[in-house]
Structure 1
Amino acid sequence: MTIRDLYGASRSGPFVLAGPCVIESREITLRTATALAAVASRLALPLVFKSSFDKANRTAVTSFRGPGMEEGLAILAEVKDETGLPIVTDIHSPEQAARVAEVADVLQIPAFLCRQTDLLVAAAKTGCIVNIKKGQFLAPWDMKNAVDKVRASGNEHIWLTERGSTYGYNNLVVDMRAIPEMRKFDVPVIFDATHSVQLPGGLGAASGGQREYVPVLASAAVAAGADGIFLETHPDPDTALCDGPNSLPLDRVELLLRRLKAIWELADA
């Protein structure tokens, strides 16, 4: 069975994307992946491991971006071999798509790049699932254009991810109506519970966040019909090199996923 059988447009059941925002080290990445694989096994929830080899849209030029593509892909390949988990990671330019597809099962299009036609087409042509994060600046129905670009390139394996909308300065708000709106495109819709509590640029040279609201918004999104949940998690978010303020502590992931699984089961009853 392939990842497309498990997570394709048929919506065979709820699933999770989780991992550290960025690859900080081999040790932290493997430690987190091993823990998440164990949680996914205990809960019988399909889980895709997420971490970025490069965060090209950090707030400041001095911000940590990751190890780069070659070293990062080597670590992600090791995660895949060691845990059996499929992999999702960001790409930022069309030239990265084919190389990253050699390791990743899902190519993620960052929210700020969701309208970049060449990037969407290159991702589509790899045959991987393409997870397009909705831009903070777009209405949910505007994402049909991004979906159409991937489909026109011969790829039907598409996910959309809701991650909040810009609301004034340094703040985001989530409109749960976006989830059923984007499901109208006949693609699975994922809710990004950790970036949705981000405070973009809220710390001046870095983004802040309100991780205490992650369980609240994740629960609401599942009840609203989200097919999957996206969580950034770290063994010690307060020392994380990227997105720590909005990341969920690794030791709290299982409790939240148990809660979300119960809601999914009630919603399907």
Structure 2
Amino acid sequence: MISNIPRIKHSQTNNFFLMAGPCVIEGEEIALRIAERIVSITDKLQIPLIFKGSYRKANRSRLDSFTGIGDDTALKILAKVGREFDIPCVTDIHESNEAAMAAEYVDVLQIPAFLCRQTDLLIAAAKTGKTVNVKKGQFLSAGSMRFAVDKITDSGNPNVILTDRGNTFGYQDIIVDYRGIPEMRDFGVPVVMDCTHSLQQPNQASGVTGGKPALIETIGKAAIAVGADGLFIETHPDPANAKSDGANMLQLDLLEGLMTKLVRIREAIL
């Protein structure tokens, strides 16, 4: 169901697909370096890949948090990644007027979890004709995401992906209810598990979100076992010094080993 995305490779395999890359575009050199490594791994394992990078982070806890290197600069870097490696790219949009702008550079538009009920934003994304990946709000049930799908498809765009990123549990933790994956798959769209944001520890006293990256493998294994179509993983060669969400990102050097294990699980359940 993702074969309609331009430049997607290996879509004829029975593998899950992967949306992976840094949290935010920090610069051209590091974006290309991360993309090169991910492409090498996914080509080896025949995993369809969509490269991920936010051109701007609009939802930050503190005013002094890093938000980006400039919209135009970051979007041009994403476009270069797509051209150089012949792969599709995905980025977040935050307001309706960003949809057409971002659609000129990327193949998939992503709706952040906190914005998944914003009707005007969903319609604007749908009208671009691009595939729209909607992250499930931490505050919503899986069943509620049917209405997000309807808003996009009723706007004339059948190309929808839903991504689960866990549910708010108290003030500073998130849990994953794996029943939501088959429930959302029943809507007739691909369902992705966000293995990194589902391990966030938001609302820390410091104003910097925490995380539990040691459990990324656990989240990924369980998601594949219950039938997730894809995985979303933010990764960086040096998470401790990443400019955004480093506390829950996967160390890039660990990606190949993880993907190898998950491909085996996928093969076992088919």
TM-score bracket for the superposition, by shorter chain length: over 0.9
Task: Find 2:151's aligned residue among 127, 149, 173.
Answer: 149
**CA shift in 2, pair 1:203/1:43, >3 Å:** farther
Displacement, 1:265? 1.1
Q: Partner of 1:173 in structure 2?
A: 175
- Contact kept, 8 Å, 1:17 with 1:47, in 2: the verdict is yes
In 1, the alpha carbon distance for the partners of 2:6 and 2:191 equals: 15
Where 1:160 maps in the other structure, the secondary structure is: strand
Q: Partner of 1:108 in structure 2?
A: 110
Displacement, 1:68? 2.6
Displacement, 1:202? 2.5
Q: Partner of 1:125 in structure 2?
A: 127
Unaligned runs of 5+ in 1: none
Task: Find 2:261's aligned residue among 254, 259, 262.
Answer: 259
Equivalent positions of 1:1-269 (< 5 A) are 2-3=4-5, 13-202=15-204, 204-268=206-270
The letter of the residue matching 1:121 is I
The letter of the residue matching 1:52 is S
TM-score (norm 2): 0.95
Displacement, 1:116? 0.2
- Contact kept, 8 Å, 1:11 with 1:188, in 2: the verdict is no
In 2, the alpha carbon distance for the partners of 1:150 and 1:12 equals: 27
Where 1:29 maps in the other structure, the secondary structure is: helix
**CA shift in 2, pair 1:85/1:97, >3 Å:** same
Displacement, 1:13? 4.5
Where 2:228 maps in the other structure, the secondary structure is: coil
Where 2:161 maps in the other structure, the secondary structure is: strand
In 2, the alpha carbon distance for the partners of 1:15 and 1:139 equals: 24
TM-score (norm 1): 0.95
Displacement, 1:203? 5.2
Q: How many residues align?
A: 267
The letter of the residue matching 1:34 is E
In 2, the alpha carbon distance for the partners of 1:5 and 1:75 equals: 17
- Contact kept, 8 Å, 2:19 with 2:50, in 1: the verdict is yes
Where 2:44 maps in the other structure, the secondary structure is: helix
Where 2:133 maps in the other structure, the secondary structure is: strand
**CA shift in 2, pair 1:85/1:68, >3 Å:** same
Displacement, 1:12? 6.4
**CA shift in 2, pair 1:173/1:11, >3 Å:** farther
Deviations 1:146-200 (A, max 9, x none): 0000011000000000000000011000000010110110000000000010101
The letter of the residue matching 1:17 is M
Displacement, 1:4? 6.1
Displacement, 1:205? 1.3
Where 1:65 maps in the other structure, the secondary structure is: coil
